[in-house]
Amino acid sequence: MKRKVIIIGPAFPYRGGIANFNNSLAVEYQNQGADVQVYSFSLQYPSFLFPGKTQYEEGEGPDGIKIFPIINSVNPFNWFKIAKRVKNENPDYVIIRYWLPFMAPCLGTIAKLIRKKTKIVAITDNVIPHEKRIGDRILTRYFVKSCDAFLTLSSSVLDDLLKFTDTQEKIFIPHPIYDSFGEIVEKNKAKKNLGLDENGKYLLFFGFVRKYKGLDIMLDVMADRRIKALGVKLIVAGEFYDNKEEYISQIDVLGIKDSIILKSDFIPEEEVKYYFCASDMITQTYRTATQSGVTQIAYHFERPMLVTNVGGLSEIVPHNKVGYVCDINTKDIADCIVDFYIENKEKEFSINTKMEKKRFSWESLVEGIDNLIKKQL
């Protein structure tokens, strides 16, 4: 008898890392022969809480996956309806994605209402959010107390969980590889597609731009005289969720306008491969982090990475093997970039990413969830 699983969280046509993760997780369950459904949102964020241009992407969703956009995050009457629907479906277990305390009343209430009927595994991206607000801990505690077991994507989040629960039913499994963005493209072809110089040196800063991701740090790095002498350019590819003009002003003050390529719209899924494959190294100069889907896209395209030593990033990117783990200061980051180019590390790191990425699989994630559920029975 096939497993029946319901995933609760954003999915296509919502965009962003969490939606992409849920799409890929559902595909893995489907590939394993499970009956999987995704309960996504009819309303995820009210417009006044969403800083971007749109919450949705165009194109087609994952083939054959049943995605139902039925959850309203701010309507309590809706939460009771969702719980009733889940109970009627009678799944073997429910997976709930948790990433933001704002979602705790909605997701926590649904969990409480269905918990007597089915087991609940929470995949917790963040227990303590990157951008903290009053009431976060109270809301997170409410959600955590509504679940049976927990899977985290970094050991730092596993440690954070201890502040909210003493349950033994929790495990850490690294974020799997994102393999839904197409195949590796030859570098010169990728550069040509983006209109870049085939002989140019390019670093990539990819994804939504928010303060905690440290684009301002990376811009300061680009002003280092050694980086300028190397002729390296930084591609910033992603929509600004912060004030874009502040970054433009910083670029002007630093005098690095010729070293920065801004692609400040949301990057469609079918174009992601060109940005990664055209770049020599992917940079993540984050101030805070738990894990990042960007590293897993980089692994898929076998690209070297530079990350700061925060959260779980250093667990995923072995220093001087697939890239660099740097302190959060411009000199250390610049030193690593200079070493990368002067010592011609790209080929070595790229070969190592091909080997290292084998430990990040969706099959292992599903196996981990199944093991958590078996302990509950």
- Complete domains list, the chain, with CATH: 4-175+361-376 (3.40.50.2000), 187-359 (3.40.50.2000)
- Show contacts of 188-196: CB within 8 Å, 24+ apart: 189/277, 190/273, 190/274, 190/275, 190/276, 190/277, 190/278, 191/278, 193/274, 193/278, 194/274, 194/275, 194/278, 196/261, 196/278
Has residue 27 got a pLDDT over 90?
A: yes
Render pLDDT for 54-113 as a digit per residue (tens, 0 to 9).
667 777 778 889 999 999 999 999 999 999 999 999 999 999 999 999 999 999 999 999
Residues 254/223, Cβ–Cβ less than 8 Å: yes
Render pLDDT for 10-23 as a digit per residue (tens, 0 to 9).
999 988 889 999 99
Percent of the residues in the chain that have a pLDDT greater than 90, as a whole number: 72
Has residue 308 got a pLDDT over 80?
A: yes
The pLDDT score that the predictor gives to residue 131 is: 67
The residue whose two tokens read 């199944």 is 370
Distance (Å, whole) CA 27 – CA 20: 11
Mean pLDDT over the full length of the chain: 92
The pLDDT score that the predictor gives to residue 50 is: 59
Q: In what order do the strands lie in the sheet with 260-263?
A: 260-263, 232-237, 201-206, 281-284, 305-308, 323-326
pLDDT level of residue 359 (50, 70, 90 thresholds): confident
pLDDT level of residue 288 (50, 70, 90 thresholds): confident
Query: If we measure between CA atoms, which residue out of 5, 271, 254 comes closest to residue 123?
Result: 5
